[in-house]
Amino acid sequence: MLNVTSPWALILSLLTAIVSISYYNNNPSAPEIRSPHCASWNAWYNPLRSGQVGYQANDWNILYHLGGNGPWIEKIDELETPGLEPPKGCVIDQVHMISRHGERYPTKSAGSRHLALLNRIKEANVVLNGSLSFLNNWTYFTDEPQKDFDQLTKTSPYAGTLQAFSTGVRFLTRYGHLLPLHGTTRLWASECNRVIETAQHFASGFFGLDWEKTEKAALEIIPETLERGADTLTPGDTCPKYIEDPAKGHDNGVNMLALFQDVYIPAIAERLINDENNSALGYLTNLEVYGMQEMCGFETLSRGSSPWCDIFTHDDWENFEYARDLIHYYRAGPGNPYAGAMGWLWLNATTGLLRSGPEAGTMFFSFVHDGDIAPLVTAMDILKDPKYDPFLPTTHRVEDRVWRTSSVMPMGGRIVFERLTCPTSSAKDPSGEEAFLRVNINDKIVPLPYCKSGPGLSCPLKEFVDHVERRRSEVGDFGEVCGLEKDVGYITFLRQG
């Protein structure tokens, strides 16, 4: 296991982030980024807090248009929903979280595209004009790309290490009453360095820096390998048909993305090259312009801001956001026929624990990738779109879509299931209790569109269980959908004790 949770490692990460924040706040060239940023204090749980008081929906903020390539942000939408405190008289007696890893550098594939473009610009040996003139005196945001690619960022206000640690502290603030007095709490992470490190830093924030030594918690690493079948946190790696299907499988997301890139990117390339007198650079391809937009988010994660953000218009960014929505929609969302069955695995395991209640354990924390959260969102039917599903257009951007992922699956994005026990009174049982489910996505309570009759727009647990059982018949059995024979068919490791 990686040794990233030593006190010195965490202290160094925190100090680095503090220095970065100080630089950012005193740097006049840094663009204004309004609340929320990083781990927003506006969304911190307080028993007296009654609603969302942070980011306003009419306040345009680039962090909400980076399509998962930016820092953690609070979820926003036009709906008025309850605050984070439990409904009056209710208590949270069990909590489940599935979280994307914290803020990271680009993957090797994306980073290689960035470096190829920058090398081409360097070899052209020309002076750039207009919005690209910053490149005459700019360096890439990592001096050691082959070392940093795929890893968590450790600098700027958006350090992935800091975000994971502060999320653990935030959860301790909200759910500290669920800590068991004795025994060890299990956490789960898929077998990838950045995912493992995220889980470790989260555990340090929640259970204390000495969580491994004192055995307050134990991290179980789940391999991202094909032979795991249904018993996995990463079903996209264990579903053979999904992997191999060229038309409707994993690659469908990239294919649909390319179609929309053809729609919105050529006009940007024309503006940057011809309108701004950069014809000496030659033609910019779709992937090169797309890479420029990617670098806005990734440089922001490592430096706190980026000049790449300023060369694109609001409309360009909303198109980029839509492009990112498309890749998720068709790769592992409602536009992919395998997604529902893949997402149902974690949903089913968690629903069983919700039915059992706190006797089965009070806390369950899982850490994965965005490609593993999209199937869960699909299986939950929480972003179901009666107008467009399962064909989100690639010929133009649609503003009235339900599928918006920037504030659902940012770096560090998390979906939390809270089991509520609330008083209920009836003629037969005037002093009884009933269980309900509440969903919290990135610090916003999100009512289930098909079930919100409980306190604070929660869902009666019995109704939620019925919905999950119905969804299995709709999305199909994982083994059958994926072409697996004699598969176990469900997750076995998600348990305490």
Tens of pLDDT, residue by residue over 302-350, are 999 999 999 999 999 999 999 999 999 999 999 999 999 999 999 999 9
Among residues 148, 231, 316, 370, the one annotated as catalytic is 370
How high is the pLDDT of residue 76?
85
Place of tokens 């950012």: 24
Cα separation, 230 vs 217, in Å, equals: 25
The DSSP secondary-structure symbol of 274 reads I
Query: Is 62-108+153-248+328-482 a domain of CATH 3.40.190.10?
Result: no
Q: H-helix or E-strand containing 424?
A: strand 414-424
How high is the pLDDT of residue 490?
95
Helix extents (H) in 214-303: 240-244, 252-270, 286-303
Could you tell me whether strands 432-441 and 459-460 are parallel, antiparallel, or unpaired per DSSP bridges?
antiparallel
* pTM, 2 dp: 0.90
Cα separation, 371 vs 250, in Å, equals: 10
Tens of pLDDT, residue by residue over 43-66, are 444 433 333 333 344 579 999 999
Among residues 101, 201, 250, 328, the one annotated as catalytic is 101
* Pick from 18-22, 110-114, 269-273, 380-384: least confident: 18-22
Cα separation, 319 vs 260, in Å, equals: 9
Tens of pLDDT, residue by residue over 449-486, are 999 999 999 999 999 999 999 999 999 999 999 999 88
467 is catalytic: no
369 is catalytic: no
> What average pLDDT does range 276-292 have in this prediction?
97
SS3 state at 254: helix
- Angle, to 10 degrees, between the axis of helix 370-380 and the axis of helix 314-332? 70
